[in-house]
Amino acid sequence: MRGRLVSSNPAEGEQYYLHLLLSHVNVPTCFKDLYMVNGLLHPTFRKASLERGLIEHDDNLSQCFAEAFVFQFPNILRRLFALILIYCEPRDVRKLWEDHYNSLFEDYMRVNIDVNLQDGGFREVQEEYSIVVEDEHLQACESLNLDQKFAFDEIMRHVENDCRRIFFIDGPSRTGKTFLYKALLVEVRSRGLVALATASSGVATNNMSRGELHTLDSRFLSICIITQYATLTTKTLTDQWFSEFLLRVGDGDEETIDDTFICIPNNMAIPYNDKGNSTDALIDAIFPSLQINGDASNYIISRAILSTKNNNVNEINNKLIDRFCREEKVYYSLDEAQDDKNNLYLMKFLSSLTVNGLPSHYLRLKIGCTIILLRNIDPLNGLCNGKRLICKWFQHNVIDAEIALVNMLARGCFC
């Protein structure tokens, strides 16, 4: 018997969460299949939806920190905290900070108070000490107007008394905000103190001298947003015949068909019988003995399959992930429309949209599979668009991955 799944609104409570589960759980045979998540039977559909990651938990960000603390160092957790401040809009920043203060600063608690920061290997501090202050800035504080001088004195009073405070300086363009910043930086540095200047965007850095200002992203973050698109890269062919073929094509010497098409040599093509068998043959040709070599990172990142359409990419990805024998995890996007107070745009509709440049509604991962970086946040640390990563572990809110390079891997944490 077939039936139509009617739409439901979040205001309808358990009926909405039942609708949500029915949209994501494959072939449930009874209500127990919907209540059951990872072997645990939950009392309500809402709780089951939470455990499946289908709705956002009020404490998701705190859980993210708790999970990341298990396998990440404090410096990575601090970068994660900065990322959350920028992109996740936490409701209570102070509580989040205080709840995880010990985890964020565990390394500093273990460092001797007399440590020499300049020789301690801290990149940001070493960059700060290497900055050469321009002569014109040394006299900047003497050229401040009354409003600038008031802000300057108030901020420096807190610096002198080691009194923590956040100040917000606002004003129209060309009113001297950047000039005030420079005066503050020069004054702090002239006292032998460290001032790490940051900005929320790359545009703001253009107003400062080279080396003085970094974006907040590049200064504190090594986190990236990931997607499943094009998780596979192509196997490199270096045989002499292939090189000669490319040269003939480039020189226009390769035989053509109707002066328009070039015939691909048989030893470069997978014969097409039907879609399923031909896809399997293609995977076998590019990833031979995948189950045996799946744990070897160099094997994974040295080859891939390219496709012209995302639908084909997703199909091939799913076939490849099926061949990995390790644990699997599926992450779902939590989609909502801005200023939609009446819930006119249902999550089911938003999740069905496949806008170019955005990840799909779900991300299916297995330990050992490849992920591609969709949006870079920390190019100074090598996290650029198109960077490949190897999934090493995952939890409910955190993915642990390695940046995949030839003969070198760098560890990272992603939320």
- Hey, where are the domains in the chain? 10-51, 132-210, 225-338+345-414
Query: In degrees rounded to 5, what are phi and psi of residue 120?
Result: -90, 0
For the stretch 374-377, contacts whose Cβ atoms lie closer than 8 Å and that sit 24 or more positions apart, written own/partner, are 374/225, 374/226, 374/227, 374/229, 375/224, 375/225, 376/224, 377/83, 377/217, 377/221, 377/222, 377/223, 377/224, 377/225
Return the sign of the alpha-carbon dihedral for residues 147, 153, 159, 162: negative
Query: In degrees rounded to 5, what are phi and psi of residue 328?
Result: -115, 150
The per-residue pLDDT for range 327-356, each reduced to its tens digit, is 888 888 877 777 777 777 777 777 777 777
CA distance 69 to 400: 11
CA distance 184 to 26: 60
Strand partners, 409: 404
Q: Which helix (H) or strand (E) holds 401?
A: strand 399-405
Query: What pLDDT shows up at residue 111?
Result: 57
7 Cβ contact list (under 8 Å, min separation 6): 19, 346, 348
Highest mean pLDDT among 74-78, 107-111, 227-231, 380-384: 74-78
Strand partners, 384: none
Question: What is the 8-class DSSP label of residue 266?
Answer: G
The per-residue pLDDT for range 393-413, each reduced to its tens digit, is 888 888 888 887 644 344 333
Given its phi and psi angles, is residue 413 left (phi above 0), alpha (psi -120 to 50 degrees) or beta?
Answer: beta
**Inter-residue contact 245 to 254 (CB < 8 Å):** yes
Strand partners, 256: 262
pTM of the model: 0.56
Query: In degrees rounded to 5, what are phi and psi of residue 223?
Result: -110, 150
**Inter-residue contact 148 to 179 (CB < 8 Å):** yes
The per-residue pLDDT for range 148-180, each reduced to its tens digit, is 889 899 998 988 888 888 888 888 877 888 888
Residue 238 banded pLDDT, cuts 50, 70, 90: low
The per-residue pLDDT for range 174-219, each reduced to its tens digit, is 788 888 888 888 888 877 787 777 665 444 444 554 444 444 334 3
390 CA to centre of own chain: 13
